[in-house]
Amino acid sequence: MTYTNSNPLRSPESSTKQISFGVEDPVRDFIGRKDKLKELDGLIEDGMHSAVVISGLGGMGKSELVRKYLLQNKSNVSICHWVNGESAETLRSSFEQFAAYLNVPTTDKQNDKPLQLYYTVNSILNQVKENINLLDKRKYIIVIDNVDDLYDDFIKVTKQLCSYSRSIVIITSRRLFLLEGQSEFMELSEWTKEDAVEYVNQRLNSQQQMDSDVDLLCSTLLCDPLALSQAVAYIRHQKQVSFEGPSYSIRHYLAEYECKGEYLLNKALQVSTQEH
């Protein structure tokens, strides 16, 4: 693993600018969720625990919600580190990459073997503690994304991170009540009707759509974020390649959906992936 020549935590800019690693901006068409952003902020600021679990089905926008929160609260976060929590292997790899970024060794000097994860995380925490100004009230946020299995390394690392008073650990999971009793909890479900309508109008140009058609599309797909994003991607694609061309509309989509809904959603998933 390659190490940097200097520790970014020790740069003059670190006292005023955020040190961010592995964090992407939210998608450009992020819509709504104002109530959930407010709820998340409340759990972080006033919760009894240093860990916050955001639970919801796949495609509900858990990761995007966290990215949006981090963007909105950039001035209140000194260090932010994004971790892939899908497995013990991805968890370890994420922390080793962050350690390398901080110029923190991840191998034993005597035998050149990888250090246990505990020692790598401990070294990261020591670097954070040593280099955060005591007068700096900003937080150190670690996002552990996509934790769907309760494996030992995840449990141990979360407890280890939460032992530091400045740390906030945000966890996304499809699993309900992960770390129940040891964390704050919020559930993310489908969009509100208002958010769903706003999303469709923004992505499909509201001037070209009838309000009743937009409402019907949102109701038909139960305001599900993933299903609506797939439908919108499919409609945009059909405007370019179908016989109807730019005239292809929500009504055309709904007519197709009535006949072959499952196929259409699978097809839309492929189109959506290509579009992004």
| Domain CATH number, residue 21 | 3.40.50.300
Q: Are residues 148 and 178 in the same domain?
A: yes
**Number of residues assigned to the chain:** 276
Structural domain ending residue among the three candidates 130, 165, 187: 187
Using the structure block, give the residue that is written with the tokens 């008073």.
165
pLDDT of 134 over the 70 cut: no
pLDDT digits (tens, 9 = 90+) for 16-54: 677 899 999 888 778 888 899 999 999 999 888 999 999
What is the per-residue pLDDT for 113? 84
pLDDT of 102 over the 60 cut: yes
Q: In this structure, what token pair is assigned to residue 173?
A: 């999971």
Q: Are residues 27 and 108 in the same domain?
A: yes
Q: Are residues 37 and 162 in the same domain?
A: yes
Q: What range does the domain containing 36 cover?
A: 8-187
Sequence letter at residue 137: K
Backbone φ and ψ for 130, nearest 5 degrees, come out as -70, -30
pTM to 2 decimals? Answer: 0.83
Q: Are residues 130 and 267 in the same domain?
A: no
Strands 51-55 and 19-21: unpaired
Judge whether 221 lies within some domain: yes
Structural domain ending residue among the three candidates 164, 187, 210: 187
Sequence letter at residue 79: I
pLDDT of 204 over the 80 cut: yes
**Is the Cβ–Cβ distance between 172 and 145 less than 8 Å?**
yes
Pick the range with the lowest mean pLDDT from 45-59, 88-102, 257-271. Answer: 257-271
- Name residue 170's beta-bridge partners: 52, 143
**Is the Cβ–Cβ distance between 177 and 186 less than 8 Å?**
no
What is the per-residue pLDDT for 14? 55
pLDDT of 187 over the 90 cut: yes
Q: From CA 36, how far away is CA 39, in angstroms rounded?
A: 5
pLDDT digits (tens, 9 = 90+) for 166-179: 899 999 999 988 88
What is the per-residue pLDDT for 180? 84
What average pLDDT is seen over the chain? 86
Judge whether 3 lies within some domain: no
Report residue 268's pLDDT band, with 50, 70 and 90 as the boundaries.
Answer: low
Q: Are residues 217 and 161 in the same domain?
A: no
Report residue 3's pLDDT band, with 50, 70 and 90 as the boundaries.
Answer: very low
Report residue 13's pLDDT band, with 50, 70 and 90 as the boundaries.
Answer: low
pLDDT of 67 over the 80 cut: yes
Structural domain ending residue among the three candidates 144, 168, 187: 187
Average pLDDT over residues 102-111: 84
What is the per-residue pLDDT for 10? 63
Average pLDDT over residues 84-91: 96
pLDDT of 106 over the 90 cut: no
pLDDT digits (tens, 9 = 90+) for 115-132: 899 999 999 999 888 877
What is the per-residue pLDDT for 132? 76
